[in-house]
Structure 1
Amino acid sequence: MALSDRFNKLFGLEDEQHTPASQENSQITTDNKVIPMDNISDSKSKIALFEPRIFSDAKEAAKQLIAGQAVILNFERIDDTQTKRIVDFLSGTLFAIDGSIEEVGTQIFLCTPNSFEINGSLYANIQNGDLSNDDLNKE
């Protein structure tokens, strides 16, 4: 018995090295329906909240959209001229990634990449009187 065989036997490595080829091949063959757990990413979607103060704050929102996250923007603390510039900039970003933008409240916008789907319109329901501010405060 060679020295390496004794060493392997001592540490229990002998079984691993002498595995028949037929057993190795059966372990490697996998069904196409099996997905390794390593390839599954975190399936939680994220929404970033922004309250821009200046136009350059829109860059960070655009980065989040490109990364696949939805963005809610609150424009209550910025003037209308800057709001229009930011919305125009983000509209271009959304066009490039096939996303969408929707006003969900007074000066509050929801921007979503194409992986998100928006159903309904809260803002339209408030304007039509279907949902009043009193209903929102009851919760």
Structure 2
Amino acid sequence: MGIKSKFKAFFLLDDDDYQLAEETDTAEQEEIKQPKSVKKNVVSLQSVQKASKVILFEPRVFAEAQEIADHLKNRKAVIVNLQRIQHDQAKRIVDFLSGTVYAISGEIQQLGPKIFLCTPDNVEVSGNISQFLPESDIDNSRW
């Protein structure tokens, strides 16, 4: 007595029932090998991100540089306006932010007199600003 016969006898299956069960098993095995619905639009989780933000910051004291660095660590770009702070404090902030940007593989660029753009590595900046006019020339120039 073969294994098929023993199996049929154990479950009391007719030949038709056994063949149906065998076809179902074969179909399930094929589905495992080739799923019916193949997903073609696979997206890496790393590419799915929240909307990017740009933070505008105008520090009044050096202690606020820590908050700017925290935004950079959270992968947000920051525009820093240092026009309302003393020159020596502004210089310390730029030095601190330069170190922070270096640590996170980002960039820092000057946009204008005492205005800087700090970006983390996930933000790409294209183009550059080549020349800054003295403030006296800005007041007399025409748009």
Shorter-chain TM range is: 0.5 to 0.7
Q: 1:9-42: CA deviations, max 9, x gaps?
A: xxxxxxxxx98232244228967x7414766423
Does the CA-based 8 Å contact 2:113-2:132 persist in structure 1?
A: no
CA drift at 1:49: 0.9
Q: Structure 2 vs 1, CA of residues 134 and 89 (structure 1 numbering), >3 Å: closer, same or farther?
A: same
Size of the aligned set, in residue pairs, is 112
Q: Structure 2 vs 1, CA of residues 110 and 40 (structure 1 numbering), >3 Å: closer, same or farther?
A: closer
After superposition, residues 1-139 of structure 1 pair within 5 angstroms as 20-27=28-35, 34-36=41-43, 40-42=47-49, 44-115=51-122, 116-121=124-129, 124-127=130-133, 134-135=142-143
Distance 1:38 1:95 in 2: 26
Letter in 2 for 1:73: V
Residue identity (%): 37
CA drift at 1:64: 1.6
Letter in 1 for 2:118: C
Match of 1:6 in 2: none
CA drift at 1:50: 0.7
Q: What SS does the aligned partner of 1:77 have? A: coil
- Unaligned 5+ residue runs, structure 1? 1-17
Distance 2:91 2:47 in 1: 39
CA drift at 1:45: 2.7
Aligned-CA RMSD value: 3.1
Letter in 1 for 2:133: Q
- Unaligned 5+ residue runs, structure 2? 1-24
Distance 1:100 1:88 in 2: 13
CA drift at 1:125: 4.0
Q: 1:80-104: CA deviations, max 9, x gaps?
A: 1211111110011111122221211
Q: Structure 2 vs 1, CA of residues 69 and 26 (structure 1 numbering), >3 Å: closer, same or farther?
A: same
Match of 1:3 in 2: none
TM-score, normalised by the number of residues in structure 2: 0.62
Distance 1:87 1:49 in 2: 15
Distance 1:50 1:91 in 2: 16
